[in-house]
Structure 1
């Protein structure tokens, strides 16, 4: 259950980050990142031959779009159309295939996401038509910016390719070793299933408001102590949410200290005494308790695998770049470089 919208939350604001994210952020995976030799760059780079300038991205997109539109017009696989632009089933399949596993799974679970993506594709095609018609991308300053973007994209895609770990990484043995070394990080604290009745009162409320709130709390206490009292019904009377005051399962570390001490002393289905905090009065009911436990390897396998692959990819990228620079040491005229921007020379720094 999402607790954020609840008024008068009992959660500590500084502890809303999940335990899993915290645990995985600092895993010592360096040893595993070094187990495979990094890809070696070419020892020599041939002098490029003069070639005709490549078409810009908008020109390429316009040409591809024209061919795709012609193909789609002659077939029955047109899925979407805007203006003179068609998008075929093959194009959408190619788009989905290029996504990561998580994105593909999201599209499978929610078809509306794919519909939104297709609408965005159509909007992009219209913009590209405008660009091509106005020859906007051929303006000298725009062409230069596009070339820089293209260079950055090519470098990034290439580095991703040469630094992608093999599909067999991490092995079961690697996973087990990292899990065992970080078992304490997967400890889930004790959890409490809670409900509460909240009476909002500002910290600096006047005396009349304070007295009214206190009378409301006293009346609630009287009703709650009556035989057959219905906590959820009383919570609905004081809240617009109409959820019976349910807060769901809350980790011990996420409960505000003033309330935690009372909750920990409660028996199952017992109700704590009203607690006055800076946002108002809290009447908390303990519904159930879960003991602390350590998540098993199957429970953390997916995020742990992703973390290890990410660490390995970063290590392979660093190793590749280090080797490339070692084989081709850069030479920079620092004095001339400094003077370009009119800054102080290296000797004067």
Structure 2
């Protein structure tokens, strides 16, 4: 028995009569494979259930799958019968679920048609064909508490002192032990005063003291570059989602244009009616 395949552990089936197929009768979709309190389960129900199973269950041997799908349907029928006749809510919920299932099937078929490796590649090429990239900066800094300290550091650097060694010795920031290196960053990733100073620098140029909420900085621009377009794998899911959304909206638009949709004006119906559960309860 495949673990997790059955809906519930085995239940007593005293009320169920499995119907053997007559030797001379060829089975079809309407062939009854079980009855539960008089309600029929057909071969069509079994086939439809198997068709929607996850791929791992599709590998189960047919004789095992057949028996256990029937058992699952029987158990579901037993549990479902407990709710029959309780209220109109159940019937209405089933109608909504059926409508939703049919819509999902249409959407899935549409997605299979429009979202392929080729369409994703085409969408990627179109989006990034003229990609120019954003400015990215590689900078180091020395952080100290006062402007006087920062001015003194700037003077030492102007006289030829090694930036990394001064950062290791003087910086109070977490990057100090690493020579003040901040690595690559883009616009919007640093506080405004720091970013403005970095953007104004040329490669290997050292800034005048810059004040931020963290203290006083002396900054050197190590390098500058343009960001590269993201790899296809990094945006594949996003592109697929965009293709899906566009295709679904286009299809809904086509169907809407071809359909006759009526929404009668109901003067006595107000939005608050959606919460009046008593209207659908017997």
| Bigger radius of gyration among the two | 2
TM-score normalised by length of structure 2:
0.48
Which one has more relative contact order, counting CA pairs under 8 Å at least 6 apart?
1
